[in-house]
Amino acid sequence: MMQRFWRALTYTLHAARSVMLANPNAEVYPLIPCFRVCEVYMGSPTGASVMLNMFLSPFPAPGVDPSVWTTVRTFQASFLGLELAGMLAAALSSYIRQVSADSGTPLYVDLFFADLAPADVVAALVTAWDVRRRAFPDDYFETIGVHLMQHCSEIRPDWWLAALDYAEQSASEHERQMMLALKDEVARRGPCVQCPAI
């Protein structure tokens, strides 16, 4: 049953991507099923390992080799995509804390960050940055950015440093200001302690 569900989700994401490529103005919300899956597994004793395996592992279906996560990352960078990234990063953090000696952990980390380029994340975050106020418009947007960065800096500090370096060296002035603000907020809050054990 689970295999059929994941196969259906993968094909749905591929179909949604085709629609969006053909018509960029089409109102398609392909990530909603992904959020529902995360909500189901949050709080389950084996939830983190199931989420990571199903989202990050390449999917063994005819003609569908990329993972669900890789397929999701082919959509235009958006805040919804970053919110999903934050959920997966939280699951990955939880998994690492629970089974740090597990041989699959480095693979999950590599699979997650392989499709999370710092430049894409910065570009998606800045779409909600209020240039005049030099701040995010409300707590929702700031929380998504800070939460993702808290977990990414815990899981792979080098990725976080690369994101900051990109903002300093290659990004626009607005992106640089936003990342400096995020850096200060992440430093102020420290590691995420709000996420439940997944």
Q: Compute φ and ψ for 29, nearest 5 degrees.
A: -120, 75
Write the pLDDT tens digit of every residue in 46-63: 777 777 877 787 655 555
pLDDT for the residue numbered 156: 92
- Residues 13 and 59 occupy one common structural domain: yes
pLDDT for the residue numbered 63: 54
Domain end marker among 80, 98, 116: 116
pLDDT for the residue numbered 191: 87
Q: Looking at residues 30-43, what average pLDDT do you find?
A: 65
Number of C-beta neighbours around residue 183 at 10 A: 16
Prediction pTM value: 0.78
The count of domains in the chain is 2
Quickly state the pLDDT bin for 44 (edges 50, 70, 90).
low
- Residues 17 and 96 occupy one common structural domain: yes
Q: Which two tokens stand for residue 14?
A: 């591929």
Domain end marker among 52, 86, 116: 116
- Residues 85 and 42 occupy one common structural domain: yes
> Are 102 and 109 spatial neighbours (Cβ–Cβ below 8 Å)?
no
Domain end marker among 66, 100, 116: 116
Quickly state the pLDDT bin for 36 (edges 50, 70, 90).
low
Distance, in Å, from the CA atom of 26 to the CA atom of 11, rounded to the nearest integer, reads 18
Q: Does residue 198 lie in a domain region?
A: no
Write the pLDDT tens digit of every residue in 99-129: 755 555 678 888 889 878 888 888 888 877 7
Instruction: Give me the domain span that covers residue 169.
Output: 117-193
Distance, in Å, from the CA atom of 55 to the CA atom of 34, rounded to the nearest integer, reads 9
Q: Does residue 64 lie in a domain region?
A: yes
- Residues 104 and 139 occupy one common structural domain: no
Write the pLDDT tens digit of every residue in 126-172: 877 776 777 777 787 888 889 999 999 999 999 999 999 988 888 88
The amino acid sitting at 92 is: L
